[in-house]
Amino acid sequence: MNQITLSKLGRAILTTAVITAATNGAQAANVSDEVVRIGVMTDMSGLYAAQNGPGSVEAVKMAVEDFGGKVLGKPIEVISANHQNKADTASSLAREWFSDGKVDMIGNLGPSHTALAVAQRAEASNRIAISTGAATTRLTNEECTPNSVHYVYDTYAMANGTAHALVEQGKKTWTFITVDYVFGRDLERDAIAVVESNGGEVLSKLSHPLKTSDFTSQMLTAQASGAEVIALANAGGDTINAIMTASEFNITTSNQTVAALVLFLSDVHSLGLETAQGLMLTTAWYWDLSNETRKWAERFLERTNSMPSDAQAGDYSSTLHYLRAVEAAGTDEASAVMAKMKSMPINDMFATNGQIREDGRMVHDMYLAQVKTPAESKRTWDYFDIIATIPAEDAFQPISKGNCRLVTDTE
Amino acid sequence: MNRTIVFYVILFLAAMVAPVVLYPFLLMELLCFALFASAFNLLLGYAGLLSFGHAAFFGMAAYISSILMRDYGWPIEFGLLASVLGSALLGLVFGWIAIRRSGIYFAMITLALAQAVYFLAVQGSGITGGDDGLHGVPRGNFFGLLDLSEPLILYYFVLGVFIGAFWLIQRIVHSPFGLILKAVRDNEPRAISLGYDVGHYKLLVFVLSAALAGLAGSLKSIVFQLASLSDVHWHTSGEVILMTLLGGMGTIFGPLVGAGIVVTFKHSLAQGILAESLPIVMGFLFVVCVLVFRRGVVGEVQAFLKSRSGNGIERDVPLEPPQPKVSMKRRR
Amino acid sequence: MDEIFGFPPQLLLAQIFMGLINGSFYAVLSLGLAVIFGLLRIINFSHGAMYMLGAFSAWFGLQYLGINYWLALILSPLAVGVFGLLIERTMLRRIRHVDHLYGLLLTFGIALILEGAFVHFFGVAGQRYPTPDALQGGINLGFMFLPYYRAWVIIASVVICLGTWLIIERTKIGAYLRAGTENPDMVQAFGINVPLMTSLTYGFGVALSAFAGVLAAPLVSVSPYMGSNLIIVVFAVVVIGGMGSLLGAVITGLALGVIEGLTKVFYSEAAGLVIFMIMIIVLLVRPAGLFGRPE
């Protein structure tokens, strides 16, 4: 829609607005540079583009349209950029957006390392970063900031849902295949905590770099370990490749269970039900939950040609929530808006009584699902069977167990 | 001579006032890459050696200074020094192995060695942070005097380092050593017959180039407070080749112009509809450069000026790049 | 004996087998590079992109045109070969008389364009290519479950490598080619169309690469960057083997694949590095490569 062009970069840095925290009542709209700018920073073409990417930009635009295109009488502008899954690109883009592009809120921010980089920048510039695509729990623990929100899922919630369910089925011995960056390591750590606290045992841990195409070595080693569960602590394309290899070597149909700790609708779509059937997963949202979700999802499908992922639904919901908070605060100044975002409950097609905690974690119900068999599926995108709802209070890491400095400060 | 001085003064003044008009971080990124490309040009333009692995020095130095400054609290001046020494040492190892072959083999060997460094960075995620990179590198004070967290002060600091390094490169190029390098580039057998220890000179220029590339890398990590895998990735090696080629290899200002073009492209594309097509544009620039534009922007301008004035200004780049010095092995 | 050096023999044998499969790809790709290098004296940096193109064209053919795997195995290399021929005609030919490093840079640029274009249209996520029905399933060898398709990859690679070697060493066309490598002007003087031969050689070289791409399609997800990381390893393979002999390229490729597989068992962290380490050692001991002749 609206792209920041180079000419805008030419604007004097010296004019970088120093925004005062003054909130002059709701009617005196206090909007910096007369426009509320939302930047969607995402992976447009990489490993995680299917569950974020252009669809996230579209979701944010839908939210802006549904909100009416204006807040406090000022126009809302949506810009987008591709961080190419690089933390440094994300960091420098955010710096530029905040200082020169005067972006008020940056959304999506998946995967984890880009979210962490941008959260830091948001705090430094006192703007808002809402991460829907990232999973690391660090965002609400050691690296929490007063300016960032973690909206959709995190490694704790994912591991908790799936690992818990499998250990309860009596699968006690585990081998992990983990992607070697902050997200994978956190996911592995959180899952191991669940497995061990429920009497399970971890036999071995294997790792692989991001964007691995050949998983034969890891799969053969995992197979030889004799573990009952081969847990995949990775995401997106890596998970797809690992599952394909497992199915090729007959591991999926043997007595070993392959568990993808993070599996998205788009992953199942690209794996096909034949290969993916029976996999257990934890999801923050599914398009076929209720009439409301179905209605929104169909609109999204029409615009993008694919069903929304939980992250994309989160992009819509978080943008709407942000705009409501701006309206309630009467300004786009970050700390005032953040105070409203944290005090207002979230009730929309994404969450029921969702709440943003002190540490920036948005807590809401999560769902345990199983991938349908080809016979059970009635149409394309009809992939998940929701087995159980994990209530918000159990789904996420309790705030008391976390170590966010914002929380300890108040105690 | 006078004209040259005027030119430099204008350039210097432009650099001094640039942050008023342009975003300082963009300028600093430009300076870092201009230095990187100049260091690379020292090797390719003046010694005729195409390294496809310069990202290794750039990225390694970024890691070294980030770790020392962030985790060990080293002050910036020692951080920079250590990373330059570190990349020089790595350059010595690379050079020692790679100069055994020349031409295309040299390019492939440096690429493979750099890929090995990349793998090490991926594997050693405990130290390098793997795909997360190293964030939050403190900038600190330069000799306890300059507060580098101020963007403008940081800019002038980076500019100062750049000018110093650029001056050094100029000196190297115009020194007797630089002349010998050009002799080696243009006619290696002749240089050997004149009694020069060619291998020795190649190794020395390789180490110098690596050290300066390292300086650029650690500067970049200080500016962006970040060292990451993309600094060591072969894409970065490709980028620096493109900058040098585009600007004009073997010219003093070519790498600066090339870096300017590529960095500007990167920035304008990152936010546009063409966000995903940066590699396409880069590839296209490569193809165009190689097919019709081998002298690069500065080289073409110089050639044009020369053809107009008709006298023999000293040309840094041969009109048609030298024929391969590799005597290709014959099959059977 | 339950264990070899503390490792279950099943795992050891399985990794050797998997190494052999990776080695097959190294062999076919480095063979293609060697063929091209022979006549054009350039290292084809877009070789990885051509491999990707082979896999993608097979996927595209199956998805939209109903071309099955076996047909794709012939048609994709042909199509990519023609594409390569065009590249040689329109671009590489124009830089024949400048430093061969420009060839490397040009093909690097082409690789960036191709990869970028595929990222633009298909994303990085990767497409699935189903294993052909005839090769579904596998056989239990006792030490491992060997999917039929993987066995087929080894056989097909070895056959294509031997075939290429026979053509070049034992046929008349091959003789012209070898002569052209030695002295193009002389061959031209004998009335042989050397420029055509050059184009065909480049086309053939990239067709080999595309063949490897089709072979790989059902094993890995078909994605734009599938070739670029592989090709750097193949460069190291080429440096180790030396460009001197076609058979040398094939043997080096297979052997390094196996060594890499073994490393995965004993010290998996070093698996990505082992080929580069070998390259360094070979360069120190024998700078021209194992099968190369000194410059």
Instruction: Out of A87, A93, A210, name the one closest to residue B228 (CB).
Output: A87
Lowest-confidence pick of A243-252, A341-350, C63-72, C184-193? C184-193
CA C174 to chain centre: 20
Span A259-276, mean pLDDT? 88
- Contacting partners of chain A (3+ CB pairs under 8 A): B, C
Asked if C125's CB is within 8 angstroms of A270's CB, the reply is yes
Against a cut of 0.95, is the pTM above it? no
- Contacting partners of chain C (3+ CB pairs under 8 A): A, B
CB contact at 8 A, B240 and B87: no
CA A226 to chain centre: 33
Lowest-confidence pick of A22-31, A39-48, A131-140? A22-31
Q: Contacts of residue C128 in chain A, CB cutoff 8 Å?
A: 240, 244, 270-272
Cα separation, B307 vs B289, whole angstroms: 21
Q: Contacts of residue A37 in chain B, CB cutoff 8 Å?
A: none
Instruction: Name the CATH code of domain A158-283+367-392 (choices 3.50.50.60, 3.30.470.20, 2.160.10.10, 3.40.50.2300).
Output: 3.40.50.2300
Q: Count CB atoms within 10 A of the CB of residue A325.
A: 23
- Contacting partners of chain B (3+ CB pairs under 8 A): A, C
Higher-pLDDT residue of B144, A105: A105
Cβ-based burial of A21 (10 A; exposed 0-12, middle 13-18, buried ≥19): exposed
Q: Contacts of residue A236 in chain C, CB cutoff 8 Å?
A: 125
* Among A145, A181, A186, A211, the residue to mutate for chain B (most B Cβ within 10 A): A181
* Among A42, A82, A93, the residue to mutate for chain B (most B Cβ within 10 A): A82
Q: Which pLDDT does position A410 carry in this prediction? A: 47
Lowest-confidence pick of A387-391, B307-311, C50-54? B307-311
Strands A173-179, A128-131: pairing kind:
unpaired
Asked if B294's CB is within 8 angstroms of C43's CB, the reply is no
ipTM of the complex: 0.87
Q: What is the CATH number of domain A6-153+290-360?
A: 3.40.50.2300
Q: Which pLDDT does position A111 carry in this prediction? A: 84
Span A240-257, mean pLDDT? 84
Query: pLDDT, tens digit, for every residue of A187-204?
Result: 999 999 999 998 999 999
Q: Which pLDDT does position B7 carry in this prediction? A: 85
Q: Which pLDDT does position A42 carry in this prediction? A: 92
* Among A45, A56, A208, the residue to mutate for chain C (most C Cβ within 10 A): A45
CB contact at 8 A, C196 and C89: no
Instruction: Out of A12, A95, A181, name the one closest to residue B130 (CB).
Output: A181
CB contact at 8 A, A148 and A405: no
For residue B47, give the 3-state DSSP assignment: helix
Query: pLDDT, tens digit, for every residue of A341-375?
Result: 999 999 999 999 999 999 999 999 999 999 999 99
Give me chain A's average pLDDT, please: 86
Q: Count CB atoms within 10 A of the CB of residue C1.
A: 4
* Chain A contact present for B272, CB below 8 A: yes
Locate the DSSP E strands across chain B.
134-135, 141-142, 146-147, 226-227
Cα separation, A378 vs B326, whole angstroms: 65
Instruction: Out of B20, B122, B226, name the one closest to residue A209 (CB).
Output: B122
Token pair in block for residue B148:
């580098």
Q: Contacts of residue A206 in chain C, CB cutoff 8 Å?
A: 268
Phi, psi dihedrals of residue A219, rounded to the nearest 5°: -65, -40
Cα separation, A144 vs A119, whole angstroms: 8
Return the domain boundaries, chain A.
Answer: 6-153+290-360, 158-283+367-392
Q: Contacts of residue B280 in chain C, CB cutoff 8 Å?
A: 112-113, 116-117, 120
Return the domain boundaries, chain C.
Answer: 14-116+127-285
Side-chain-side CA neighbours of residue C250 (13 Å):
17
Higher-pLDDT residue of B142, A11: B142
Cα separation, A89 vs A66, whole angstroms: 31
Asked if B278's CB is within 8 angstroms of C99's CB, the reply is no
Q: What is the CATH number of domain C14-116+127-285?
A: 1.10.3470
Cα separation, A126 vs A149, whole angstroms: 13
CA distance B234 to chain C (A): 9
CB contact at 8 A, A4 and B271: yes
Token pair in block for residue A126:
């006192």
Q: Which residue of C has its CA nearest to A84?
A: C124
CA distance C264 to chain B (A): 14
List Cβ<8 Å contacts ≥24 apart for B183-191. B184/B47, B184/B48, B185/B46, B185/B47, B185/B48, B185/B322, B186/B48, B186/B318, B186/B322, B187/B322, B188/B102, B188/B325
Same topology for domains A6-153+290-360 and A158-283+367-392, yes or no? yes
Cα separation, A148 vs B325, whole angstroms: 58
Asked if A87's CB is within 8 angstroms of B133's CB, the reply is yes
Task: Print pLDDT tens along chain B (332 aa).
Answer: 577 888 888 888 888 888 888 888 889 999 999 999 999 999 999 988 999 999 999 999 999 999 999 888 888 889 999 999 999 999 999 999 998 888 888 998 999 899 899 988 888 877 887 777 787 788 877 777 778 888 888 999 999 999 999 999 999 999 999 988 888 888 888 888 888 888 889 999 999 999 999 999 999 999 988 888 889 999 899 999 999 999 998 898 999 999 999 998 887 776 655 666 778 888 999 999 999 888 888 888 888 888 877 554 444 444 444 444 433 333 33
Cα separation, A301 vs A262, whole angstroms: 23
| Residue A36 pLDDT level (bands cut at 50, 70, 90) | very high
Q: Contacts of residue B97 in chain C, CB cutoff 8 Å?
A: 280, 283-284
* Among A216, A238, A264, the residue to mutate for chain C (most C Cβ within 10 A): A216
Give me chain C's average pLDDT, please: 87
Q: Which residue, chain included where needed, has tokens 């769902």?
A: A367
